[in-house]
Amino acid sequence: MDHDGGVDDYLATMLLMTMEHVQPLGVVVTPADCYAEPAVSATRKILDLMGCSDVPVAASTVRGLNPFPRLYRRDSFIVDHLPILNQSEIIRTPLLQTTGQDFMVRVLQEAPEPVTLMVTGPLTTVAVALDAAPEIAAKIEQIVWMGGALNVPGNVEKSLEAGQDGSAEWNAYWDPVSAQRVWQTQIPIVLCPLDLTNNVPVTSELVYKLGRQRHHPLSDLAGQCYALVIPQDYYFWDVLATAYLAHPEFYQLREWETVIVTTGLSQGRTKVDPGSRKIVAMDRVDTSSFYDYILQQWTR
Ligand SMILES: [Ca+2]
């Protein structure tokens, strides 16, 4: 798991840890939609809460080109301070001394069989790891990535970002060059783009349902986190991408040929371009099965 510390990322990590058939090898925090220290701390506390303190956490030290807005990033401080994550003074889940990018290289080199990378932030840590040890590409079974906007507008708003025409999705925009680096490999990429996530909003109804399950700690935490973002236009991004690992049958996939635009006003755009790099995108999802699934998992 390689996440970037947004509200959605913690819940995606939490969902992943409820999946019985998944053997998590570690969690890397890429410092993008967050501030690094509270994001790493919150991640470790969530793993503690879930009884997953044997899963190592490593902090990536990569840098992007286009920073996320401070207003988004400060959520990492709020989540790290939620009461349910601070019932103990000690954090049991280890923080590795090695960087996230070096840890990713080592895990893949040592893996006896190919590994799925679940990436819910920018692709920078993956790109840096690939540059450091290109042979690890053969150990990556697939990259499931929440990112990109194929045939819909991006979510980097022109009003916030003067250097952008509104076509880019944030994870791609943070570091388009690294996304392109990953696009240059043969690694199978399964994209969860805005085209799909736009159909799966975080609704008041769902947050209220989480509240009615609040005697379950995971449901309580998820409800608190989503309550924080209710005033915004918020969608299931990372959680929707991650649920694919457990229930691919909820999703219809579609193949596209795409390029990553790395310069100019469209930088960060995942542009459909026939004849270029093949990827597979999640095209449709059975939303009611998805909502039922996360509600059920968070009663664990
Ligand atoms: Ca994210």
For all residues of the chain together, what is the average pLDDT?
A: 97
Write out the two tokens for 216. 């379950």
C-alpha span between 287 and 285 (Å, rounded): 6
The total number of structural domains that make up the chain: 1
Ligand 1 center to 5 CA (angstroms): 6
Ligand 1 center to 171 CA (angstroms): 7
C-alpha span between 107 and 247 (Å, rounded): 25
Ligand 1 center to 237 CA (angstroms): 8
The angle formed by the CA atoms of residues 242, 24 and 229, to the nearest 5 degrees, is 40
Domain coverage including residue 110: 2-297
* Percent of residues, the chain, with pLDDT higher than 70: 100
C-alpha span between 271 and 172 (Å, rounded): 11
> Residues 251, 167: contact at Cβ < 8 Å?
no
**Across residues 259-285, what is the average pLDDT?**
97
Supply the DSSP symbol for 18. Answer: T
What tens digit of pLDDT does each residue of 243-266 get?
Answer: 999 999 999 999 999 999 999 999
C-alpha span between 1 and 204 (Å, rounded): 28
What tens digit of pLDDT does each residue of 231-240 get?
Answer: 988 999 999 9
What tens digit of pLDDT does each residue of 164-221 get?
Answer: 999 999 999 999 999 999 999 999 999 999 999 999 999 999 999 999 998 999 999 9
What CATH number does residue 174 fall under?
Answer: 3.90.245.10
Ligand 1 center to 33 CA (angstroms): 6
* Percent of residues, the chain, with pLDDT higher than 90: 96
C-alpha span between 181 and 283 (Å, rounded): 24
Ligand 1 center to 40 CA (angstroms): 13
> Residue 88: exposed, middle, or buried by beta-carbon count in 10 A (0-12, 13-18, 19+)?
exposed
